[in-house]
Structure 1
Amino acid sequence: MPLSPSSSAQAARENVARQLRDLRKNAGLTVTELASRCGWHHSKTSRIENARTPPSPTDIRLWCRATGATDQAPDLIAASQHAESLYREWRQRVRTGLRKLQDSYVELYKSTSLLRVYSPVLVPGLLQTEGYAQALLSSNARFLGVPDDAAEAAAARLQRSQIIHEPGHRFVMVVEEAVLYYQLGDSEAMAAQLGYLLTAGALPAVSFGIIPMSTRERALWPQETFDVHDDTLVSVELLSAEVNITQPSEIALYLKAFEQLRSMAVYGAEARALILKAIEALR
């Protein structure tokens, strides 16, 4: 059964909607009466209560005032903002450029003791070289139609990657072998990236595995790119958005998927042999 990376966000929205609906009912108000007190059309009340339209902080304050529950507004606003942070569109996040996006992840990585990464299409960000990262980020900027500050963003990504040398962190990274053949940048940049991967598995805090294309009877088919931060947060990369999953049952599903993917990977000398084969293919 396919994973559903957006359901945590929807569950959080529905929880806020349910609390607002309960406030209205406890106040003895109909949908139309609450709308009248708030100064909007009754259809907006229905959309909010059915989690189809996220309420703004002003909407929540008016709702709480109309139902005599102004003391609950701060908590409901915080919960609503958290729900919306679980699903964040790339275009919105990078509208001022890519550099700020790279910087925004620093604290999350610093607070993570064990980071598990699975990628079917790209070298994981923490293992990217500058040329590879710049080619990738520039391509992303063009696709999303946002300012192309790929050079500055790539430098920020490399600076962030220094965390793999800091004590107190462990990294388990698994990629599909196809990642070694998807060329980003020119041949020189790609060769430099592959050359760096030859040493990645030898880094003290890093376990780097590659799932061979020749794997027979796979335990699990290729999945979307995802990171697991300790056992508390899964970050999934979709074409249009980043989905942050905090629901324990969904995190458990991703952990199960990661273990099955990790079990199919090769490491050490076998992984290096696959990388050398990909380097030869560049010539």
Structure 2
Amino acid sequence: MVRSTSSSAQRARRVLADRLRELAGDAGLTGKDLAARCGWHPSKVSRIATARTRPSEDDIRAWCRACGAEDQTGDLIASLRAVEGMWLSWRRLERAGLRRSQEERLPLYQRTRRFRSYAGWAIPGLLQTPRYTEDVLRTIQRQRLPTDDVAEAVAARVERQRVLSDGQRVFAFLIEEPVLRNTLSAAEVQREQLERLLTVMGSPRVSLGVVPVARDRAQLPVENFWIFDNAQVNVELVSGYLTLTQPSEVGAYSDTFGRLASMAVYGARARAVIEEARDALA
């Protein structure tokens, strides 16, 4: 549905480039003047000023120093970090281990009051049992990380699940039917996980829908995503983790969630689909 070069990230890069270009204009500097003061080739100035090249923090410091605007350095570096945070490769996100990547998302979950989650390949993290989480994170660790902190990461994810017990929050989960049958874990663990779903369905603050396998669909499956209130969307792609905050992009995912929700089954029908998947594990 989206690429790493999302319109949110592109727009933020352009805003940063515009601010840098304005600093040079306010200082009365041409691109060649700025390049000379920074010790760069003029083409580098052009690439940064037109958002074709993302500046480094040192580049921003040099630019502000050349423009006599060192008081702007902190704000511009903060803007750069915000742009970089929109798109994180898994390698970068998990560079300090799986535990840290789990913990860093906790504040977002704590401040969110309305959660919407679509899952096309695994049970959503908030609904996972510890053993299911361990198997999922173990698979990720073997594929992407030399460091083994899976046990600590499982504990961090379990801690994050505390938001489910807060009566001030509401949750809507959509799960593709094949997810119920994807054996990421041993049969015993998968069965335990499906029993967990049946239990969670009893909460008045949780809506759990199963999108059944069907030949004619109004909406094809898409990548896993979460919508936090109406403020932010996080998307799990093969290559990394995308954060979207532009209202138009958040709205696009809200619309997609709505179409998928209209195709899902709930209540007794959803329970029957889950029980059938559970019984098939025997």
Tell me the TM-score range normalised by the shorter chain: over 0.9
Matched, 1:212 2:212: yes
> Is residue 57–residue 77 contact of structure 2 (8 Å, CA) maintained in 1?
yes
Distance 2:127 2:207 in 1: 12
- Name the residue aligned to 1:262: 261
Distance 1:42 1:241 in 2: 33
Cα distance, 1:58 vs structure 2: 2.5
Please name the residue that 1:18 is paired with: 18
Contact 2:97-2:145 at 8 Å conserved across structures? no
Give 1:245 deviation, angstroms. 0.4
CA pair 247-36 structure 1, distance change in 2 beyond 3 A: same
1:99-121 residue CA offsets vs partner (Å, 9 max, x unmatched)? 11111111110100101101111
Aligned to 2:142: 142
Pairwise CA distance, 1:4: 4.8
Length-normalised TM-score, structure 2: 0.94
Paired with 2:173 and 2:88, the residues of 1 have a C-alpha distance of 24
Note if contact 1:95-1:146 (Cα within 8 Å) is conserved in structure 2.
no
- The 5-angstrom pairing of residues 17-56 of structure 1 reads 17-56=17-56
Q: What residue identity is the alignment partner of 1:178?
A: P
Is the 2:134–2:150 Cα contact (8 Å) retained in structure 1? yes
For residues 117-196 of structure 1, the aligned pairs below 5 Å read: 117-196=117-196
Quote the Cα distance in structure 1 between the aligned partners of 2:91 and 2:45.
Answer: 28
SS in structure 2 at match of 1:219: coil
The 2-side partners of 1:51 and 1:239 are apart by 26
Aligned to 1:226: 225
The CA deviation string for residues 246-282 of structure 1, in whole angstroms up to 9 with x for no partner, is 1111111111111111111111111111111111221
Give the distance between the partners of 1:62 and 1:95, measured in 2 at CA: 28
Query: Aligned equivalents of 1:140 and 1:43: distance in 2?
Result: 41
The size of the alignment, in residue pairs, is 281
Contact between 2:23 and 2:67, CA under 8 Å: does it hold in 1? yes
Aligned mates of 2:173, 2:52 — CA distance in 1: 37
Q: Structure 1 residue 238 and structure 2 residue 240: aligned?
A: no
Look up the SS of the partner of 1:59 in the other structure.
Answer: helix
Deviations 1:166-196, CA, capped at 9 Å, x for gaps: 1211111101101111111211111111111
Q: Report how far residue 63 of structure 1 moved.
A: 0.8
Residue segments in structure 1 that go unaligned for 5+ positions in a row:
none
Distance 1:281 1:31 in 2: 68
| Cα separation, 1, equivalents of 2:44 and 2:133 | 44
Q: For the Cα contact (< 8 Å) 1:91–1:146, is it kept in 2? A: no
How many angstroms apart in 2 are the aligned matches of 1:210 and 1:86?
30
Letter in 1 for 2:116: R
CA distance in 1, matches of 2:270, 2:110: 28
TM value normalised by structure 1: 0.94
Distance 1:78 1:153 in 2: 28
2-11 or 220-229, larger mean C-alpha shift: 2-11
